Amino acid sequence: MLLSKTLCTLLAASAVLLGGCSNAAGGSASLPAPPVASAAPSASPAVAAPSGFDKTRSFADLQTQVNFGPRYSGSEGYPKMRDWLAKTLTEAAGVPAKKQDFTAKPGDKTLAMSNVYAHINPDAKTQVLLCAHYDTRPTADEEIDPAKQKQAIPGANDGASGVAVLLEMARLLKAKPPTCGVQIVFFDGEDYGPGEAEMYLGAKAWAKSLPLPKPTYAILIDMIGDKSLQIYREQSSESFAPEINDKVWNAASSLNMSSFQNTVKYAISDDHIPLQAVGIKAIDLIDFDYGPWHTLDDTVAQCSPDSLRSVGDVLAKVIYDEK
């Protein structure tokens, strides 16, 4: 994911320190908007949400991913991660996980990549797409030391956290099926780079062919595992699908989740942008105030099981409130 260059300039002028800023698609940014109105309580759920999000098991899934090492196409850990993900998703969701294989050509390279996905309750009228990326950045480009910049990041928060939450969500949905359908998709190639033309590769491949029926809306989660979690309404999400942001912040308000800040802050270019481009009401839940972003310090020690659970609980509330 990348942060809008315009917004970076504004933040730098205000002496706000971030991991780094780059050009981004999806329109120009502005200063953070004033707080939006407090979210109203949500309607009675169609199916009561279970209170069983297992943060310990979810955090163990995060640790397992990091133990594979770098997880980008061409790395030693990549096939281990992909195959483990397909197997674990099948077990968690109780339905066969599938792969969307595609060929990506970042720069002068040709790489085999795969999106991994499962479809729960496919016959339901309302379909919700929950997604995250499972690859990691091949270069620690935000490191100060040029030698370190050539190394691959561990990707504990930037990659593994979103996967960990959605795997545990799949277990919840298997234990207590929702009224709506849920498409769980793990995108490949989000963070390949170095530039934006070589990023969001899996989301672009998915949007081009839509292996599953077009969802009613989509929620992307990315970098949601850090210890001091603060998730703001992302600007392009607010512009394109404010009603979906409302669903999330209504759920967070009803659960008294202080980690969800009801204010627009950043404009982020991420996997939700290719989905929006084909008309999917997609939003991005992301905490971009993360110092170790694209550095070798993006480790398990920077992450928290409580952060995973807070996001999981909010997503569960959204899903089980759907009719």
Q: pLDDT tens across 178-194, in order?
A: 999 999 999 999 999 99
For β-strands 217-222 and 282-286, DSSP reports them as parallel
Q: Quick one: CA torsion of 134, 136, 142, 145, rounded to 10 degrees?
A: 160
Tokens of 194: 């170095």
- State the Cα–Cα distance between residues 28 and 280, nearest whole angstrom: 20
pLDDT band at 323 (very low <50, low <70, confident <90, very high): confident
For β-strands 111-120 and 98-104, DSSP reports them as antiparallel
Give the Å distances, CA to CA, from 300 to 66, 94, 251, 304, 311.
8, 28, 28, 8, 17
For the chain, give the percent of residues with pLDDT over 70. Answer: 85
Whether the predicted pLDDT of 12 surpasses 90: no
Strand partners, 286: 222
- State the Cα–Cα distance between residues 36 and 33, nearest whole angstrom: 8
pLDDT band at 165 (very low <50, low <70, confident <90, very high): very high
Q: Give residue 4's pLDDT.
A: 52
Rounded to two decimals, what is the model's pTM? 0.88
pLDDT band at 19 (very low <50, low <70, confident <90, very high): very low
Secondary structure class of 95 (helix, strand, coil) = coil
Comparing 7 with 100, the larger pLDDT belongs to 100
CA 233 to chain centre: 14
Burial pattern 297-321, b for ≥16 Cβ within 10 A else e, equals bbebebbbbebbbbbbbbbbbbbbb
Widest CA span in the chain: 55
The CA-CA-CA angle for residues 241, 247, 252, to 5°, reads 130
DSSP H or E segment with residue 113: strand 111-120
Q: Go through the domains of the chain in sequence order and give each one's CATH number.
A: 31-321 (3.40.630.10)
pLDDT band at 9 (very low <50, low <70, confident <90, very high): very low
pLDDT band at 46 (very low <50, low <70, confident <90, very high): low
Q: Give residue 18's pLDDT.
A: 31
Q: Give residue 110's pLDDT.
A: 96
Q: What would the mean pLDDT of 281-301 be, rounded to a whole number? A: 98
pLDDT band at 111 (very low <50, low <70, confident <90, very high): very high
For the chain, give the percent of residues with pLDDT over 90. Answer: 83
| Residue 127 phi, psi dihedral angles, 5° rounding | -125, 125
Sheet with 217-222: list strands edge to edge: 98-104, 111-120, 181-187, 127-133, 217-222, 282-286
- State the Cα–Cα distance between residues 100 and 26, nearest whole angstrom: 25
- State the Cα–Cα distance between residues 125 and 253, nearest whole angstrom: 26
Whether the predicted pLDDT of 30 surpasses 60: no
Q: Give residue 44's pLDDT.
A: 44
Q: Give residue 285's pLDDT.
A: 98
Q: Give residue 48's pLDDT.
A: 57
Q: Give residue 53's pLDDT.
A: 94
Secondary structure class of 71 (helix, strand, coil) = coil
Comparing 43 with 142, the larger pLDDT belongs to 142
Q: Give residue 49's pLDDT.
A: 59
Q: What is the DSSP string of 213-278?
A: PPPSEEEEEES--BTT--EEE-HHHHHH-HHHHHHHHHHHHHTT-TTEEEEE---EESTHHHHHHT
pLDDT band at 99 (very low <50, low <70, confident <90, very high): very high
Predicted confidence (pLDDT) per residue in 47-85, tens digit: 655 568 999 999 999 999 999 999 999 999 999 999 999
